[in-house]
Amino acid sequence: MQQVARFLADNSDSFVDALKQFLRIPSVSASSAHRGDVRRAAEFVRDQLLGAGLSVRVVETEGHPIVHGSWLEAKGDPTVLVYGHYDVQPPDPLNEWISPPFEPTVRDGRLFARGATDDKGQLFTHLKSLEAWMKCTGRLPVNVHVVIEGEEEVGSTSLDRFLEENREQLRCDVAVISDTSQFGPNMPAITYGLRGIVACEVTLRGPNWDLHSGVFGGAVANPINVLAKLIGALHDDRGRVTVPGFYDDVVPLAAAEHDRLEKLPFDEADFVRSLGVTAIHGEAGFSTNERRWCRPTCDVNGILGGYQGEGPKTIIPSKATAKITCRLVPKQDPEKIIHGLRTHFERLSPSSVKLEFQTFHGCPAHVFDPTSPYMSAAKTAIRSAFDVEPMYIREGGSIPVVGSLKQILRVDTLLLGWGQNTDNLHGPNEHFSLADFRRGTLASAHLWHELSCAGAMDR
Amino acid sequence: MQQVARFLADNSDSFVDALKQFLRIPSVSASSAHRGDVRRAAEFVRDQLLGAGLSVRVVETEGHPIVHGSWLEAKGDPTVLVYGHYDVQPPDPLNEWISPPFEPTVRDGRLFARGATDDKGQLFTHLKSLEAWMKCTGRLPVNVHVVIEGEEEVGSTSLDRFLEENREQLRCDVAVISDTSQFGPNMPAITYGLRGIVACEVTLRGPNWDLHSGVFGGAVANPINVLAKLIGALHDDRGRVTVPGFYDDVVPLAAAEHDRLEKLPFDEADFVRSLGVTAIHGEAGFSTNERRWCRPTCDVNGILGGYQGEGPKTIIPSKATAKITCRLVPKQDPEKIIHGLRTHFERLSPSSVKLEFQTFHGCPAHVFDPTSPYMSAAKTAIRSAFDVEPMYIREGGSIPVVGSLKQILRVDTLLLGWGQNTDNLHGPNEHFSLADFRRGTLASAHLWHELSCAGAMDR
């Protein structure tokens, strides 16, 4: 392991250069215009795995390809499945980036680019730690499957089928994913819970075209005004979501877990300052960490209608559209929630507008028990690399693959985040601390060793 | 007059060609990119007036120039001020135009282009009727000032100053504006009332940048959700506007006027069908014509926030913006209403978002008495050209200059609309019936004669 650690230290700069190459590929999976770039990113991952000494195949899907690397020669040792995604979120709003999203730039020890943290930078720590073990020792301490997909940001539509079709081949003991965050700077964390998600797009159509608001205003429904009213009605005055059946299956937090969350170091003033908001805001009766990790939400992610140019324009718009997502907590059924959302809009929508309701991917929340030997292995590995004890936390985001891995391959996932949740994931100026990148790579290298020991104890 | 009518008939095609030239100039006053085009449109109007034999000057302002033509040699006859505007609304949404907005195209006897009706096509009827009188008789039956501005669609900001600085020179007996509509096909109308307007833009700012909706959702205010709630609260369940003080000064319609409105031929099913809406919609207890002519409104003309691209994007947007206008009725004070709007948003906006409130131009409503000799002259002129009796109607739109003409020059305005309110004013595929263009020009030619007679009776 010392030899591996030295190899990582010696090659640190070249790893950053390779990561920059990866980040230069605009692999925006949501945009059909970037289809070719998404494939280039898959090929880049393939070449990295081949360079590390793994067997690799690029598996075609109906969407973007899945890269599958493996090394299975550690007889008797556990098998680990490492998952990541090489696709990224759209870079909009472009004009808010200080340096262009696909021209990786280092400022103040941080690497700025779309995907720097989510997830190219984080998955790269595992590719490089595997490469280090192979180059230093000619083998790995554990058997490894590496599965890197290109559709995570658009719902991982092809992944389940891949997992199902390769269920036997991918048999493993535990999964590892680095697509979450530390709890704060130098506060590495193991995430034992994720929220689920449902997504939809609501369009209200009024007149066939934009009408003069003087000639017609007052006599026809304005789709923006109506949509605003329906969205406004999604929450009551206490910040609770009014969607029918929304809280039916939500289980209150156990007292012990509530206490553990309350004890986490959390500076609300600093939270407010770091985001630039004027105050916190959310469901009455819950703390900020409960609100973002343990309570369901309903957020509009985008809204559009009518005139957007300079100055006023006096029209009744012909339509208005909103993109809406709900974050879910354990026991909430995505199907039931999306049905409730549809019902909300159908019930409140007046007959003077036409309602269109389109749904996107969804997945349930996932929480697992933090007491397995693999969890202890992760804890030891992180402590070795970061020199501090990792915290146990939950996360407000959704990683649908965690549910798929549990359901299809029957394994728990170690969610080991090396980045910070202030790294502007999904926003402009996304970045990754190079110190976190290096420590994450070292922790990953320790992890293969510790998982091997955990496997030995398990026997 | 017969000679004039023959001249108009003989030159009908060349008038349409000249109008097309006018319509090819994209004189969008709201867009600074079109500044040069707006000036070109002013110069086009200047050349038309010179060609008709009037004295002309192009008056520079802080905004777009005002073209002032005059012919004042009808000693003892009344003086008429003809107002129009050569600027047009932005052509968005561009992709909904069947033929490009600035490539005038005739289909089914209708001329399609931005400004075809509002107001290039309508003001052109007066330029051509004046030209006809001058070319046929070497003089006009009345004295005439023609004032054509280029800022009507952005609030006529320079016009009042022009009227004030030229108050003596512009002394006149009555004003004529064709910027309204007929009541329906072959139902010419004299409009004796207009609504006023106030306009504002509301922006709510949350976090400094778009946040990951998983990591932060539930713990910070979502500016779109909040804005939707505030907009939704602008109307109560009966469609009444909840802005503080909104109805304080609204005077109920007199029974006689109410009865006259009810007697107008109006087919609601046809209204619904022609707009492509599924049902009418508005303030409870009022008919469609009352709602759009005699009741105040509050409409969102545009809304924008968050992600607009393909597929979902899981963010909490950093801001959301809405453009809002209220249409006003007589006695409502624009200052008071805009103050009420600001109060609505300030009162309901939570401390977790920052509110920005910007106001644009506004003007009060205007209703005048339909019994002057000039009104009778207009009635006779219209009957002569259209072969039917014109109707007396009100209008839901706003023409701020009507108030300025009353306040500064102390004259009433004859609002003589030649177009139809289904001509897609302000929307895509704006058009003007060529038959209406021809009859409007003929009615205008009659009008100068009738106004001269009215002046004689007046003495």
Q: Which residues of B touch A398 (CB under 8 A)?
A: 214, 314
Whether residues A372 and A389 share a domain: the answer is yes
pLDDT at B459 over 60: no
Mutate to test the interface with B, among A213, A224, A278, A304 (most CBs of B within 10 A): A213
How far does A352 lie from chain B, in Å, by closest CA? 4
Per the structure, the count of domains in chain B is 3
Q: Comparing A110 with B366, which gets the higher pLDDT?
A: A110
CATH of the domain at B13: 3.40.630.10
Q: Are residues A68 and A126 in the same domain?
A: yes
Q: Which residues of A touch B325 (CB under 8 A)?
A: 213, 217, 312, 314
How far is it, in rounded angstroms, from Cα B317 to Cα B312? 13
Per the listing, tokens 């500044």 go with: B35
- What does the pLDDT read at residue B366? 87
B373 and B386 co-located in one domain: yes
Whether residues B219 and A30 touch (CB distance < 8 A) is answered with no
What per-residue confidence (pLDDT) applies to A370? Answer: 76
In total, the C-beta contacts within 8 angstroms joining chain A to chain B are: 372
**Mean predicted confidence (pLDDT) in B267-278:** 93
Mutation target for A interface from B29, B211, B286: give the one with most A CBs within 10 A: B211
Give the per-residue pLDDT at A19: 98
> Mind telling me how many Å the CA of B225 is from chain A's nearest CA?
6
**Do B121 and B56 share a domain, yes or no?**
yes
Pick from A359, A385, A401: which residue ends a domain?
Answer: A359
Q: Do B354 and A327 touch (CB under 8 A)?
A: no
Q: What is the 3-class SS of chain A, one letter each residue?
A: CHHHHHHHHHCHHHHHHHHHHHHCCCCECCCHHHHHHHHHHHHHHHHHHHHHCCEEEEECCCCCCEEEEEECCCCCCCEEEEEEECCECCCCCHHHCCCCCCCCEEECCEEECCCCCCCHHHHHHHHHHHHHHHHHHCCCCCEEEEEEECCHHHCCCCHHHHHHHCCCCCCCCEEEECCCECCECCECEEEEEECEEEEEEEEEECCCCCEEHHHHECCECCHHHHHHHHHHCCECCCCCECCCCCCCCCCCCCHHHHHHHHHCCCCHHHHHHHHCCCCCCCCCCCCHHHHHHCCCCCEEEEEEEECCCCCCCCEECCEEEEEEEEEECCCCCHHHHHHHHHHHHHHHCCCCCEEEEEECCCECCEECCCCCHHHHHHHHHHHHHHCCCCEEEECCCCCHHHHHHHHHHCCCEEEEECECCCCCCCCCCCEEEHHHHHHHHHHHHHHHHHHHHHHHHHC
Residue-wise pLDDT for B287-331, tens only, equals 999 999 999 999 999 999 999 888 888 999 999 999 999 999 999
**Would B127 be classed as within a structural domain?**
yes
Residue with tokens 């600085």: B165
Are residue B29 and residue B116 in the same domain, yes or no?
yes
* pLDDT in the model for residue A232: 98
**Could you tell me the residue range of the domain that residue A224 belongs to?**
196-250+296-359
In a domain, B244, yes or no: no
| Tens digits of residue pLDDT in B322-365 | 999 999 999 999 999 999 999 999 999 999 999 999 999 788 99
In chain B, count H helices and then E strands: 14, 18
| Whole-number Å distance between alpha carbons of B423 and B426 | 9
In B, which residues are within 8 Å of A268 by CB distance?
Answer: none
pLDDT digits (tens, 9 = 90+) for B201-216: 999 999 999 999 998 9
Give the residue from A88, A235, A307 with the most B CB atoms within 10 Å of its CB, the best one to mutate.
A307
Give the pLDDT confidence of B146-156 residue by residue, as tens digits: 999 999 998 88
Provide CB contacts within 8 A for B9, sequence distance 6+.
none
Contact A221 B325 (CB under 8 A): no
- B185 and B266 share one domain: no
**Alpha-carbon distance A381 to nearest alpha carbon in chain B (angstroms):** 25
Q: Are residues A28 and A53 in the same domain?
A: yes
- Phi/psi at B213 (5° precision): -75, -15
Is the Cβ pair B277, A207 closer than 8 Å? yes
Identify all chain A residues contacting B309, using CB atoms and an 8 Å cutoff. Answer: 30-31, 90, 92
And the tokens for B324?
């809002």
| Percent above pLDDT 70 for chain B | 99
Low-confidence ranges of chain A (pLDDT < 50): none
Q: Decide if B138 is inside a domain.
A: yes
How far apart, in whole angstroms, are the C-alpha atoms of residue A206 and residue A211? 10
Query: Shortest CB distance from B421 goes to which of A208, A215, A317?
Result: A215
Residues B65-79: pLDDT tens digits? 999 999 999 999 999
Together in a domain, B398 and B337: no
A310 & A398 share domain: no
- Residue A55 in any domain: the answer is yes
Please identify which residue in the block is written with the tokens 């929630």: A337
Count of residues making up chain A:
459
Nearest CA in chain A to B315: A301
For residue A299, give the nearest of B92, B222, B281 by CB distance: B222
Kindly list the residues from chain B whose CB atom is less than 8 angstroms away from the CB atom of residue A212: 397, 421, 425-427
Instruction: For B178-189, write each residue's pLDDT tens digit.
Output: 998 998 899 999
Whole-complex ipTM: 0.79
In a domain, A274, yes or no: no
Domain boundary at B331, B359, B387, which? B359
Of A195, A301, A314, the CB nearest to B307: A301
Contact B218 A291 (CB under 8 A): yes
Q: What is the DSSP letter of B52?
A: H
Does residue B241 sit within a domain?
A: no
- Strands B391-394 and B189-194, how do they pair? parallel
The Cα–Cα gap between A113 and A90 comes to 12
Look up residue B1 and give its two tokens.
């007059």
The answer to whether residues A232 and B224 touch, using CB atoms and an 8 Å cutoff, is no
> Which residues are within 8 A (CB) of A249 and not within 5 positions of it... i.e. 6 or more apart?
A331, A332, A333, A336
Nearest-Cα distance to chain A for B150, in Å, is 15
Question: Best residue in B151, B194, B205, B224 to probe A by mutation, most A CBs within 10 Å?
Answer: B224
Whether residue B133 is found in the same domain as residue B175? yes
CATH of the domain at B304: 3.30.70.360
Tokens of B154: 């952005």
Q: Angle at which helices A120-137 and A2-10 pack, to 10 degrees?
A: 120
pLDDT digits (tens, 9 = 90+) for A129-184: 999 999 999 999 999 999 999 999 988 899 999 999 999 999 999 999 999 899 88
Q: What is the average pLDDT across B79-89?
A: 97
Residues A152 and A42 placed together within one structural domain of the fold: yes
**Residue B361 confidence (pLDDT):** 77
Cβ burial of B238 (10 Å; 0-12, 13-18, 19+) is exposed
Name chain A contacts of B232, Cβ cutoff 8 Å: 225, 228-233
| Neighbouring residues of A108: CB distance < 8 A, sequence distance ≥ 6 | none
A262 vs A251: CA distance, rounded Å: 18
Per the domain annotation, does A258 fall within a domain? no
Looking at A359, A375, A406, the residue that finishes a domain is A359
Does residue B34 sit in the same domain as residue B164? Answer: yes
Note whether residue B246 is domain-resident: no
Query: Is the model's pLDDT at B239 over the cut of 80?
Result: yes
pTM of the shown model: 0.79
pLDDT value of position B155:
82
Rounded CA gap, B375 and B382, in Å?
A: 11
- Interface probe, candidates B315, B316, B328, B429, chain A, greatest A C-beta count within 10 A: B315
Q: For residue A86, which of A100, A69, A99, A72 has the smallest C-alpha distance? A: A69
